[in-house]
């Protein structure tokens, strides 16, 4: 610091020394770089993406058939190396044509399929055949072998939902192609088929300790009836949560799913505790999300950023919206207001 020429308080020798030791001075990092936010709500109207998805269905190259997914990438999300759609939730639309098969594979990511259209297709998850009828939610938990078969006569279209971003961050984003080996002995879905009843006597094995649901298919009908009968919360929303029947917690540790019924003309203004990926199941309406207005109808996908203020209005109701949120990650890591399964809080 003896020369006029340089205002750098760090001598070249010191700089060389810490470089050599792989030390990086914090004072050269800005603190202004820290930032939250940036993410904006996005809308993929079905009338725009449905035709594109149907068009891709004509591509029959085997390698594409198996991964015929159009990821809905939200380019407003900062550092979005996981091509997320809403917060830490990735999502795409997928089509499986009659007779097509997507061969078995597995990955550390938890994947959920929310079915839009089709009949006769099924996903085989860890050996359990799960029908994929419209409105069904099929869970393929992390590291469970799964494959898809369309045994029906119509295209089956669904929304694929993944927790890729958090696995990227944890560096647990592993993938393994088939063939299937070492299927775990998983109780039949029928063992979980009664509300309020769970099988016991399997507590000691690894399956029982798994941190995700062992019920892999949540059929549309009962879920829709449950949402319709859930009490209205303080915002005027009926909210049913998909849970692991063994403990009433989220179906997977990283994605929390809900079926929301809207009957009131307008909900009270609420703050979304996590990011929401919304798939319209029935009805139509519009949502005001931090000032952005999105008009939605059946099969549309739209997103709500974490922390956004939301008002939903319906024009055709009751409306039902399936929601997949990253809020469970924030809860578990102490970044949400408490551990309650709430999706909204007062503004």
Q: Which of residues 177-196 bind its own copies (CB under 8 A)?
A: 177, 185, 187-188, 190-196
The answer to whether the beta carbons of residues 252 and 142 sit under 8 Å apart is: yes
Element (H, E) at 101: strand 101-107
Q: Does 154 engage in binding with its own copies (CB under 8 A)?
A: no
Q: Does 335 engage in binding with its own copies (CB under 8 A)?
A: yes
The stretch near its own copies (CB under 8 A) out of 111-119, 126-134, 147-155, 202-210 is 202-210
- Between strands 43-44 and 270-272, the pairing is unpaired
Radius of gyration for the chain, computed over Cα atoms and rounded to the nearest angstrom? 23
Q: Does 17 engage in binding with its own copies (CB under 8 A)?
A: yes
Q: Least CB distance from residue 261 to its own copies, whole Å?
A: 10
Q: Count the neighbouring beta carbons within 10 Å of the beta carbon of residue 196.
A: 5
Q: Does 197 engage in binding with its own copies (CB under 8 A)?
A: yes
Nearest to 36 by CA among 305, 256, 254: 305
Which of 41, 44, 123, 314 is close enough to bind its own copies by CB under 8 A?
Answer: 44
Handedness of CA 194, 188, 118, 48 (dihedral sign): positive
Q: Which of residues 84-123 bind its own copies (CB under 8 A)?
A: 87-88, 92-93, 107-108
Q: Does 333 engage in binding with its own copies (CB under 8 A)?
A: yes
Q: Which of residues 249-268 bind its own copies (CB under 8 A)?
A: 251-254, 258-259
Which of 81, 269, 315, 316 is close enough to bind its own copies by CB under 8 A?
Answer: 81
DSSP 28: G
Which of 2, 175, 179, 181 is close enough to bind its own copies by CB under 8 A?
Answer: 175
Sole residue written with tokens 């949400």 = 336
Nearest to 39 by CA among 341, 340, 326: 326
Which of 98, 120, 318, 341 is close enough to bind its own copies by CB under 8 A?
Answer: 341
Q: Does 325 engage in binding with its own copies (CB under 8 A)?
A: no
Structure tokens given for 278: 């919304």
């Amino acid at each position: 610091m003896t020369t006029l020429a340089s205002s750098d308080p760090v001598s070249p020798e010191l700089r060389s020394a810490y470089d050599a030791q792989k030390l990086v001075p914090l004072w050269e990092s800005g603190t202004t770089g820290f930032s939250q936010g940036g993410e904006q709500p996005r809308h993929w109207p079905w009338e725009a993406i449905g035709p594109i998805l149907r068009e891709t269905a004509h591509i029959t190259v085997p390698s594409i058939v198996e991964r015929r997914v159009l990821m809905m990438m939200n380019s407003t999300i900062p550092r979005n190396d996981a091509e997320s759609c809403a917060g830490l939730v990735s999502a795409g639309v997928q089509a499986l044509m009659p007779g097509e098969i997507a061969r078995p594979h597995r990955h550390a990511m938890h994947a959920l399929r929310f079915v839009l259209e089709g009949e006769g297709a099924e996903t085989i998850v860890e050996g359990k055949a799960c029908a994929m009828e419209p409105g069904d939610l099929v869970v393929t938990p992390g590291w469970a072998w799964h494959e898809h078969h369309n045994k029906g006569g119509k295209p089956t279209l669904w929304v694929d939902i993944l927790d890729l971003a958090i696995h990227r961050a944890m560096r647990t984003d592993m993938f393994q192609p088939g063939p299937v080996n070492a299927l775990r002995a998983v109780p039949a879905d029928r063992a979980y088929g009664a509300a309020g009843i769970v099988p016991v006597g399997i507590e000691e094995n690894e399956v029982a300790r798994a941190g995700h649901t062992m019920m892999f298919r949540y059929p549309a009908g009962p879920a829709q009836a449950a949402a319709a009968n859930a009490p209205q919360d303080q915002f005027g929303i009926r909210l049913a949560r998909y849970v692991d029947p063994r403990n009433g917690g989220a179906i997977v540790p990283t994605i929390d799913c809900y079926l929301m019924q809207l009957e009131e003309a307008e909900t009270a203004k609420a703050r979304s505790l996590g990011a929401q990926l919304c798939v319209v199941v029935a009805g139509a309406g519009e949502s005001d999300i931090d000032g952005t207005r999105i008009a939605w109808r059946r099969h549309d996908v739209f997103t709500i950023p974490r922390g956004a203020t939301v008002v939903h209005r319906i024009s055709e109701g009751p409306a039902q919206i399936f929601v997949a949120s990253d809020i469970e990650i924030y809860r578990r890591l102490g970044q949400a207001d408490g551990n309650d399964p709430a999706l909204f809080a007062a503004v």
